[in-house]
Amino acid sequence: MPTRIASCSCGSLTAQVTGDPVRVSICHCLACQRRTGSVFGEQARFAREGVTISGASTRYVRVGDEGSRITFHFCPNCGATVYYEPEGLEAFVAIPVGAFADPHFPSPQVSVYEDRMHAWVVPPAEAQHIP
């Protein structure tokens, strides 16, 4: 099984994952734009038993449109988010794909909040598209 390491910018907070992600998605919502500083977020969901976290993190809880809570864990030194935990999905850990710094990471199968998508963005045609 593949092993990958996600890291913050300074390297003090990491997540090692074994096995492939169960879901890879991009999200164009405004909260993900603010969180990432980019125009969409991309995240991979992994089974929790395959994820090993190392290093200290600070938490931020975002309450979504439907009242669901997501707990983001970011490096207290450099501020980069390395993993997060959506409420109701306790068997999984979500990791921002950019934290892997791997251009060969599997591409997203799902594109959500496309009604907030910047006009120039072109999600993969074969992905599931959700407005």
Which residues form the interface with Zn ion (CB under 5 A)? 8, 10, 12, 27, 29, 32, 75, 77-78
Sheet containing 51-54: give its strands across.
Answer: 3-7, 14-18, 51-54
Based on CB atoms, which residue is closest to Zn ion, 78 or 91? Answer: 78
Closest to Zn ion by CB, 6 vs 8, is 8
Q: Which is nearer to Zn ion, 26 or 51 (CB)?
A: 26
Min dist. Cβ of residue 63 to Zn ion (A): 13
Q: Rounded CA gap, 131 and 120, in Å?
A: 16
Q: Which C-beta is closer to Zn ion: that of 19 or that of 116?
A: 116
Q: How far is the CB of 1 from Zn ion (least distance, A)?
A: 27
> CA–CA separation, 62 vs 33, rounded Å?
13
Antiparallel, parallel or unpaired: β 23-27 and 110-112: parallel
Distance CA 107, CA 91 (A): 22
Q: What is the smallest separation between the CB atom of 124 and Zn ion, expressed in angstroms? A: 17
The SS3 assignment for 91 reads coil
Least Å distance, CB 78 to Zn ion, is: 3
